[in-house]
Chain A
Amino acid sequence: METEHLKCDVLCVGGGIGGLMGAIRASELGAKVIVAEKGNVMHSGKGGGGCDHYLCYIPEVHGADMETYIAEMMQTQQLHNFQTLGMKRVRTHIAKTFDIVKLWESWGMQTKQHGKYHFAGHAFPGGLRCLLKYEGRRQKPILTEQARKRKARIINRVMVFDLIGKEAVTGAIGIDTRTGKIYTFEAGAVILGTGAVARLFPAVTPGWLNNNATRPTLTGDGRLMAYRAGAELQDVEMRMLHVGPKYFARFGQATWVGVFRDPQDKPIGPFVTRPEGLYGDITPEVNKALFHDYWASGRGPVYMDGRGISNEDYADMMHWFPHEGLTPVLEHMREEGIDYRKHPVEFMTYDHGCQGRVVTNEKGETSLKGLYALGEELAPGVSNASVFGWLCGENAVDYLKNAHRPDVGDMNEQAEEKAGLVGKMLGRRDGADWREVNIALQQIMQDYAGLLRTEALLQAGSFHLARLKKEAYEIIRAGNQHEVARCLEVLNLIEMGELVFMGALDRRETRGTHVRLDYPLTNPRMNGKVHIQKKIDGKPVTEWRAETR
């Protein structure tokens, strides 16, 4: 087993928007920083293809009262994204947004249009526009350059799989996805930023695992290593929906300027009747299941209809598409002869299956000492990731000033255990590859913890999943180191699935997208409560807690 032991003050696990911002801030405060990234920081993470909109509060634009801005924001999809995070954290985020935007501007990111801040999309007509348009096509290369400038050490192609530490988190262990080398990182503090959970539930095309708006290699690695180390997770059973072009799963719904219409050309929402660049059509943000409901009730398909768009709005939309990471969509439309000004494009509801978060406070601290979490470990959005990246970097350095550094103990034991598992995967000549296991997992998740849930379904599904897990550990095989990473991801996803079942069984109510047919009421006693899952003495436990703790 080839190993390399590295020491640093702050270890950023995951080099997405948040991880890089954390690395930049901690480095410039004098910390020795390592970024361990499973892919390559240049284009990894949900922001890796770009982004064109950023939640940003500017008093001169939105008025002196930040609460007005927040109230407006919480009527849009941010309600689903930010609910149960606690308002203290939301306020901390929003108050810092303009500072980060100015910083990005100074690093060469275009945040103004014709010399002015321009807000558009994800907005109700006549309401405050909360999202700043910015040219984020090269955001990851720009942040990478800034991290390197400050001497943060970036190690690409390392999948970190476990945290180290007893009384506090003091490091992590990972594996090189090309050579199999084991890395043991000794760190004063660890910042988790490994993104969301894709591939737990089926993608829009069954069996086509990577047709996913969220990056397919984001498999909840961070929250699972946190959970295994004893950190608290919350609301893991809640499902997350989104909308986008049918079959070509992409984010960026609000970069399309048009009206959502039914086959008879009737707008399906009450907000706009013609393409309107400043606001977009916010209908699905009120109910993202709406397109699915149209389809299921025979009223579909639903189209994003750009007919009647002004030349100016069309030119703007073409300008923003590449920044939102939609160049492949544009190229595809060009090749297929699809002219958006004439051809309404079908949209659908995407079911991302699993939301959930690592429990953190407004400083980004988790329930474990020395462990921070940010970005999609908690909630979506570049704005959220970048602000908390910055703050986690700052707070981690602060923590290091006062923290006594506990003995890291024997990291080799944990490393050897995982190396043993990896050796078995590589040594098997027969067995199931990661795709086979992943698809088996997805069908159980979809049918037993999907759209409709009952005690009986969830109990049965838990049983099936336990069998699958046992089999998977016995027969999963990897042809090379690349496939080892995919296998480890799937094993993480199985553990995530177990937590979804446990959480869904324990939430005896219907709330939003968690539909319990045997408990159809939304229990008002659970309003404002978060549903905690954690391990105590190796055993999983659940707990309800008021959200503002």
Chain B
Amino acid sequence: MPPVIDPDKCIRCGKCADTCPEDVYFGSGKKQVPQVTYPQECAYCNGCVEECPVEGTIRLRIPLPMMLLYKPTA
């Protein structure tokens, strides 16, 4: 469920948990890899990805009901 944090890359700065408008990281401890407590409340705004100082640490996994639909063409 979105967002997904790579614990090996995370520097535990807490910026994502601080700035998430929906507070999906509610309850995360200081200086720890943030926990995604309310994944279903993510609004996919990309704010946490934007604020994370280490590129590639957070990615948003788009849930299956939101899969973009396209027309297969040659």
Interface residue ranges, A against B (CB under 8 Å): 39-40, 42-45, 48-49, 137-138, 157, 177-178, 205, 208-212, 215-217, 245-249, 263, 301, 303, 307, 325, 327-329, 331-333, 336, 338, 342-346, 480, 482, 486
Contacts and interface: CB of A to CB of B under 8 A. Distances in A.
Nearest to A345: B70
Given A43-B20, A49-B45, A346-B71, 7 more contacts: A40-B23, A44-B21, A209-B40, A216-B43, A325-B46, A332-B68, A336-B68
Contacts of B7: none
Nearest to B41: A210
A482 B47 contact: no
A178 B71 CA distance: 45
Interface residues on B, range: 20 to 34
Majority secondary structure of chain A interface residues (helix, strand, loop or mixed): loop
A136 to B, nearest CB: 12
A3 B7 CA distance: 37
Contact of A248 (B49, B50, B62): B62
A39 B47 CA distance: 12
Given A48-B45, A216-B41, A325-B46, A211 B22 contact: no
B15 to A, nearest CB: 9
Nearest to A327: B46
B67 A247 contact: yes
A376 to B, nearest CB: 15
Contacts of B65: 205, 208, 211, 247
Contacts of B19: 40, 42-43
Nearest to B59: A331
A215 B21 contact: yes
Contact of B45 (A43, A177, A211, A333): A43
A210 B42 contact: yes
Contacts of B41: 210, 216-217, 486
Interface in B16-70: 18-23, 26-27, 37-38, 40-47, 49-51, 59-60, 62-63, 65-70
9 contacts: A40-B20, A208-B40, A210-B43, A247-B65, A247-B67, A247-B68, A248-B68, A325-B46, A480-B26
Contacts of A332: 62, 68
A48 B47 CA distance: 8
Interface of B: 18-23, 26-27, 37-38, 40-47, 49-51, 59-60, 62-63, 65-73
Contacts of A40: 18-21, 23
A217 B26 contact: no
B57 to A, nearest CB: 14
Given A40-B19, A215-B21, A245 B45 contact: no
A258 B3 CA distance: 30
Contact of A39 (B23, B46, B63): B23
Contact of B68 (A211, A307, A338): A338
Nearest to B22: A217
Nearest to A343: B70
Contacts of B20: 39-40, 43
Nearest to A342: B73
A303 to B, nearest CB: 6
B46 A247 contact: no
A157 B23 contact: yes
A177 B47 CA distance: 19
Contacts of B45: 43, 48-49, 215, 325
Contacts of A249: 66
Nearest to A486: B41
Nearest to B65: A205
Contact of B67 (A49, A210, A248, A331): A248
Contact of B22 (A216, A301, A336): A216
Contact of A210 (B26, B40, B46, B72): B40
Nearest to A38: B21
Contact of B23 (A137, A177, A248, A342): A177
The 9 closest A-B pairs by CB, nearest first: A39-B21, A43-B47, A44-B21, A343-B70, A49-B45, A346-B69, A482-B26, A42-B19, A205-B65
Nearest to A305: B71
A327 B50 CA distance: 10
B21 A344 contact: no
B44 to A, nearest CB: 5
Contacts of A301: 69
A248 B26 contact: no
Contact of B21 (A43, A178, A338, A343): A43
Contact of B69 (A138, A216, A246, A325): A246
A346 B69 CA distance: 6
Nearest to B70: A343
Contacts of B69: 245-247, 301, 345-346
B18 A328 contact: no
Contacts of A209: 40
Contacts of B40: 208-210
A40 B19 CA distance: 5
B44 A328 contact: yes
Given A39-B22, A178-B26, A328 B70 contact: no
Nearest to A216: B43
A246 B51 CA distance: 28
